[in-house]
Amino acid sequence: MSKKNTIVLVGQPNCGKSTLFNHLVGFKSRISNLPGTTVQLEKGEFKRKDRVYEIIDLPGIYSLTQGDEAENKTLEFLLNEEYDFIVNILDASMLSRGLELTLQLLKIGKPMVVVLNMMDEAKRKGIIIDVKKLEKLLKVPVIPAIASRGVGIKELFEAIENFKGPVLCFLEDLPGNLRKEADKLTDVLKDCNLNRRHCALYFLATKILGGELSLDTVIKDKGCREKANMIIKEARELFLKEFSMEPEDVIHALRHHTAMTLAEKVVTFKRKRSLSFLEKIDSVVMHPVFGYLIMAIVYLGFFYLTFKIGGYLEDYFTKPFELLYTQKTGLIYSLWNATVDGLSGGIGIVFPYLLPLMFFISILEDIGYIPRAAYLMDTLMHRFGLHGKSVVPLLLGYGCNVPAITATRIIEEERNRVLTALLVPFIPCSARLTVLLAISDKFLGPLFAIGVLFLNIIVVGIVGKILTLIKKEDSPGIVLEIPSYKIPSMKITLAKTWLHVKEFIFVAWPMLIAGSIVLGLIQFYGIEQIINEILYPFTRGLLGLPSKVGVTLLFGILRKELTLIMLQTAMGTPLSQIGNVMTHVQLATFTVFTIFYIPCIATLAAIYKEFNKKIMFYSILLSTFVATVLAITTRFLYLWL
Amino acid sequence: MTLFDAQVGQRLRVVQIVGGRGVRSRLFSMGLNPGDIVRVLQIAPFRGTFFVENMSNGSKFALGRGIARKIVVEYV
């Protein structure tokens, strides 16, 4: 067996790192979490000639500094994990900024290749880069590339295969006195038995002196820490004396200066062409009035198309399953029908909507619209104590909550991510919207439906506000890069779509099928009666509903799409006749409760997978509480009106 | 003055970034450094978020109002 090489992709956000990754790995990528965290990384294999490479796409980071979770974990990964090669991807049109990360990566002391991505974009901006000269200055191979078109991939792997080293480490040009302090700290680190090369130790020392890395994460031994702390204190005084600046500012300024000087040496500017169409577009897309109009059109179009395509696909996908149902009675046949229910529920109801939804969101993502929508919505979300980025998962929730939970990944701050995930289940998904629309259409009128949807938005706002008050944050606001527009590549969009759909197939769908089977068993053995009795104080007493709906509500958790069907079975009447056995107040209460209470089991599974058990239970408690309060309010308000 | 007081379209030079270590190092590493020439492109309605271009390297950012207050600028 040939030796498998592990390659890590490192780069700043929006440098085209994921594009390169998707080009290499495509449909075969898999998502995994960094150990003990929610930080996601994608892995996949790439074969070339007789070699197999394991490619790891690390989260995009601006700097190797301790900051948010993604940065911390990337730093830890690069220092502690086993891998063979660093491929550092740079946005060629922002060379100087990208080089600041490159300069840090070069100090880790691993074989490295630099990819100058988006050469076309740089050229368009009038930036010409002398690649050979940059290679000489950095002393590592530099490959010009256009990842979206696969340009440069062959050369990249040739460079990797022909890499002879030696692996140099690029030491920071610290001023004399500070260099001495860094050397001293390096020696202390070495004495502390940190099993690393000198180069990496020196890198750690400068990071610690610069306040970019806390000592505790590197040294566990107390005696060592005391020794190191003395040097750090000494160095800090030196920094303040010589520069009258904080150490981290000095280190950063030096690095910034080095990167700028490097960039100036290799870049020549051609006369910049006039603003391209794509650049002018922002004055409309981000406009205080037109921006919101465009956003409304984009999202309405997005939903319209999703439901249009979904509805069309659904007919085709569900038809074959109807033939599979059997009329025979008996345990085996009941279980068979339940399994078919679960299968068709996945393929026929969720899948048709999930597929176009994920496809469109990938396109919006690749074009670069998502950060723009986040900017537009930030002001409003800020009032709720969240950031603009939370808008994306919330809007997705109207289609299906499961991908909406997954979409919270675009939010970097853990706190905001959790809060957004707790809000997502309050957004009625297509299954719950169906319940609302069907009942409104037949009994309660369109005003009721509009009222509930409006109430829903207000409730999301209020719950959001309360949650953010409980879990305060001190961040002064959003800092989000707005990348330049890109033309999406079909291959990459499809690969991304598939990745999300795959998650549904392997996580949520099995839960759906299991849920159906449990439901089938319960009906077969007639356990409904007992459950209804147990739930009686709640359904009848608190909500004033017929006690028969107990099972419907309890098992609606398994399959919200089945709520209406279960209601018909429970009440023993077709939907059109339900008005005869339930009053309008009861129907209104039932609908409101259904919209807000516990998300379906697939959503819960998604929350569990993305976060943990605790967050999942919070979600259950929170949604049940809110639903109960609202349902009781509806019960009495409706009578009063 | 800070970026918060700027009018849409004005060219300004970043003098320094004040505030906590987190915010400073984040803005630095995202490519907003003292000496850079910046311009406010848009301000979202209802006392909203700033859309800012760093003309020195062409990068663009959405910055919350609290962040804008921490960026000290001067007229060019």
User: Residue A30 maps to which CATH number?
Assistant: 3.40.50.300
- Here the ipTM equals 0.94
Q: Quick one: pLDDT at residue A171?
A: 62
pLDDT at A184: 83
In this complex, do A480 and B62 lie within 8 Å of one another by their Cβ atoms? yes
Distance, in Å, from the CA atom of A375 to the CA atom of A26, rounded to the nearest integer, reads: 30
Which among A62, A282, A480 has the least Cβ separation from residue B41?
A282
Is A313 found in the same domain as A258? no
User: Range of B13's domain?
Assistant: 3-75
Tokens of A201: 């130790």
Candidates B22, B28, B61; nearest CB to A480: B61
Asked if A203 and A78 count as a contact pair (C-beta separation under 8 A), the reply is no
Q: Do A100 and B29 touch (CB under 8 A)?
A: yes
Say if A97 falls within a structural domain.
Answer: yes
Q: Inspect the interface and report whether the beta carbons of B67 and A476 lie closer than 8 Å.
A: yes
Asked, for residue A26, whether it belongs to a domain, the answer is yes
Q: Give B47→chain A minimum CA distance, Å.
A: 8
Our count of domains for chain A comes to: 3
3-state secondary structure of A487: coil
Let me know if residue A168 belongs to a domain: no
The whole-number pLDDT of residue A620 equals 94
Number of neighbours of residue A533 by Cβ within 10 angstroms:
11
Chain B positions in Cβ-Cβ contact with residue A294 (cut-off 8 Å): none
Residue of B nearest to A102 (CA): B29
CA nearest to B50 within chain A:
A375
Q: Does the distance separating the beta carbons of B25 and A478 come in below 8 Å?
A: no
Q: Name the residue facing A379 among B24, B26, B46 (closest C-beta).
A: B46
Identify the three-state secondary structure at position A476: coil
Q: A52 in helix, strand or coil? A: strand
Indicate whether A301 and A425 sit together in one domain.
yes
Examine the fold and report which residue of A161, A192, A216 is the final residue of a domain before the chain moves on.
A161
Chosen domain end from A238, A269, A300: A269
The CA distance from B75 to the nearest CA of chain A, in Å, is 22
Per CB-CB distance under 8 Å, the chain B contacts of A378 are 44, 48-49, 62, 64
Cis amide prior to A166 (ω within 30 degrees)? yes
Q: Please check whether residues A560 and A418 belong to one and the same domain.
A: yes
CB contact under 8 A, B30 and A62: yes
- Residue from A65, A246, A478 to probe the interface with B (highest B Cβ count within 10 Å): A478
Based on the number of CB atoms within 10 Å of its own CB, is A220 exposed (0-12), middle (13-18) or buried (19 or more)? exposed
- DSSP secondary-structure letter at A114? E
Shared domain for A212 and A304, answered yes or no, is no
Write down how long chain A is: 641
Interchain CB distance below 8 Å, B62 and A476 = no
Q: How many CB pairs under 8 A join A and B?
A: 120
Q: How confident is the model at residue B60 (pLDDT cuts 50, 70, 90)?
A: very high
Same domain, A314 and A252: no
How much is the pLDDT for A181? 81
Is B57 in contact with A476 (Cβ distance < 8 A)? no
CB-CB: which of A62, A286, A481 is closest to B42?
A286
Residue of B nearest to A96 (CA): B57
pLDDT given for residue B5 in this prediction: 93
Which of A161, A187, A212 is the endpoint of a domain?
A: A161
> What range does the domain containing A343 cover?
290-640
3-state secondary structure of B43: strand
DSSP state of A2: P
Domain count of chain B? 1
Phi, psi for residue A552 in degrees, rounded to 5: -55, -45
Interface test with A, best of B51, B53, B67, B72 (most A CBs within 10 A): B51
CA distance A81 to A89: 20
Q: Is there a single domain that holds both residue A468 and residue A568?
A: yes
Which residues does A310 contact at the CB level (< 8 Å), separation at least 6? A352, A353, A355, A356, A357, A430
Question: At A57, phi and psi to the nearest 5?
Answer: -95, 105
- The alpha carbon of residue A65 is apart from the nearest alpha carbon of chain B, in Å, by 8
The reply to whether A264 and A305 lie within a common domain is no
- Which residues 13-72 of B are in CB contact (within 8 Å) with A? 19, 21-31, 33, 41-49, 51, 57-70
Cβ contact, residue pair B42, A252, below 8 Å: no
Query: How near does any CA of chain B get to the CA of A480, in Å?
Result: 5
Task: Decide: helix, strand or coil at residue A58.
Answer: coil
- Nearest residue on chain B to A246, alpha-carbon basis: B21
Closest CA to B58 of A590, A126, A17, A633: A126
SS3 of A35, please?
Answer: coil
CATH of the domain at B35: 2.30.30.90
A-chain residues within 8 Å CB-CB of B61?
479-482
Which of B30, B64, B68 lies at the smallest CB-CB distance from A382?
B64
The Cα–Cα gap between A321 and A513 comes to 14
Look at B25 and A67 and tell me if their CB atoms are within 8 Å.
Answer: yes
Min Cα distance B9 → chain A (Å) is 11
Does A377 lie in the same domain as A523? yes
Report whether A361 contacts A396 (CB < 8 A).
yes
Q: Which residues pair with A267 in a beta bridge?
A: A129
Distance CA A388, CA A217 (A): 32
Among A256, A376, A382, select the one facing B33 at the smallest CB separation. A256
Which of A104, A482, A486 is the best substitution to test chain B (most B C-beta atoms within 10 A)? Answer: A482
CB-CB neighbors (< 8 A) of B57 in chain A: 94, 96-97
Residue A273's pLDDT is 59
The whole-number mean pLDDT for each consecutive block of 10 residues of chain A, a chain of 641 residues, reads: 78 87 78 57 85 89 79 82 92 92 87 93 88 92 91 92 76 71 82 70 81 76 81 82 79 88 90 66 90 88 76 78 80 84 73 77 83 87 80 79 80 83 89 80 84 88 86 74 85 80 76 79 83 88 87 80 73 78 90 89 86 92 94 86 69
**Domain co-membership, A454 together with A371:** yes
Q: Taking CB atoms and an 8 Å cutoff, what residues of chain A touch B26?
A: 62, 67, 479
Distance CA A64, CA A78 (A): 9
Residues A195 and A154 in one domain: no
Please give, rounded to a whole number of angstroms, the shortest distance from the CA of A237 to a CA of chain B. Answer: 18
